[in-house]
C-alpha cells in the first residue's frame, strides 16, 4: 500500500456484540472499505472473549489494516457490565497486538465530537453522520457505525496532529 494511504480498523468492543469498521484514508479523503459486527452467543464469558479475538484476528488477516483504533471503557453504573466490557476490549486489543498494529484509544465523547460535532450525541446521530461522511447507501447497524466512527475519529486526530507538528516544524 502507498505510504500516503492508511487502512484503519475501528473497534467498538462489547461482550455480546463487537462492532468493527475499516476505512481507507488518502490524504484528507476517507472511504469505506468494510464494516460489520461480531455476535457472541456463547454461554461462558471466556468462550465469548476467545470468539471476539478469533473473529477480529481473521478480519485483520483479511483486510490487513496498518492502524487500529478502539473505544475506551466508559464508567458504568453496573460494575459487572464495565468489567465484562473491559475484558472484551482486552480480547480485541490482543488481536490488534498480535499483528503489531499501532493502536489509538478514544473516549465515546471524543468519537461523537469528531463525527457529529457534539460529544453527547446519540446513536442515531452517529449512525446518520457515519452514513453521510462515508457516503454509504444504507445505515450501518449501531455497533458497526460506532466502530466506523472510531476509525474516523482516529483518522481525524492523526491528521490534526500531523498538521500541528508541521506548523511547529516551520517556526
Q: Which of 2, 54, 143, 146 is catalytic?
A: 143
Query: Do the beta carbons of residue 12 and residue 140 sit within 8 Å?
Result: no
Q: Which of 2, 12, 54, 122 is catalytic?
A: 12
- CA dihedral for 132, 138, 139, 141, sign (positive or negative): negative
67 included as an active-site residue: no
* CA–CA separation, 103 and 124 (whole Å): 26
Between strands 5-12 and 67-71, the pairing is parallel
| Sheet of strand 103-106, all strands in order from the earlier edge strand to the far edge | 29-39, 17-26, 5-12, 67-71, 103-106
47 included as an active-site residue: no
Q: Which of 2, 67, 71, 122 is catalytic?
A: 71
* CA–CA separation, 144 and 13 (whole Å): 10
54 included as an active-site residue: no
Q: Which residues are catalytic?
A: 12, 71, 143
Amino acid at each position: 500500500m502507498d505510504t500516503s494511504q492508511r487502512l484503519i480498523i475501528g473497534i467498538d468492543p462489547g461482550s455480546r456484540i463487537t462492532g468493527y469498521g475499516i476505512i481507507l484514508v488518502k490524504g484528507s479523503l476517507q472511504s469505506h472499505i468494510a464494516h460489520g459486527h461480531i455476535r457472541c452467543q456463547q454461554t461462558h464469558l471466556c468462550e465469548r472473549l476467545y470468539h471476539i479475538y478469533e473473529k477480529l484476528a481473521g478480519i485483520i488477516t483479511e483486510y490487513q489494516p496498518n492502524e487500529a483504533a478502539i473505544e475506551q471503557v466508559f464508567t458504568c453504573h453496573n460494575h459487572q457490565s464495565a468489567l465484562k466490557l473491559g475484558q472484551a476490549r482486552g480480547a480485541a486489543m490482543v488481536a490488534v497486538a498480535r499483528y503489531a498494529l499501532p493502536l489509538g484509544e478514544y473516549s465515546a465523547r471524543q468519537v461523537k465530537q469528531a463525527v457529529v460535532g457534539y460529544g453527547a450525541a446519540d446513536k442515531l446521530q452517529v449512525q446518520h453522520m457515519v452514513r453521510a461522511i462515508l457516503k454509504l447507501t444504507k445505515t450501518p447497524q449501531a455497533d458497526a457505525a460506532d466502530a466506523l466512527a472510531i476509525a474516523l475519529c482516529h483518522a481525524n486526530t492523526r491528521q490534526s496532529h500531523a498538521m500541528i507538528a508541521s506548523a511547529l516544524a516551520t517556526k
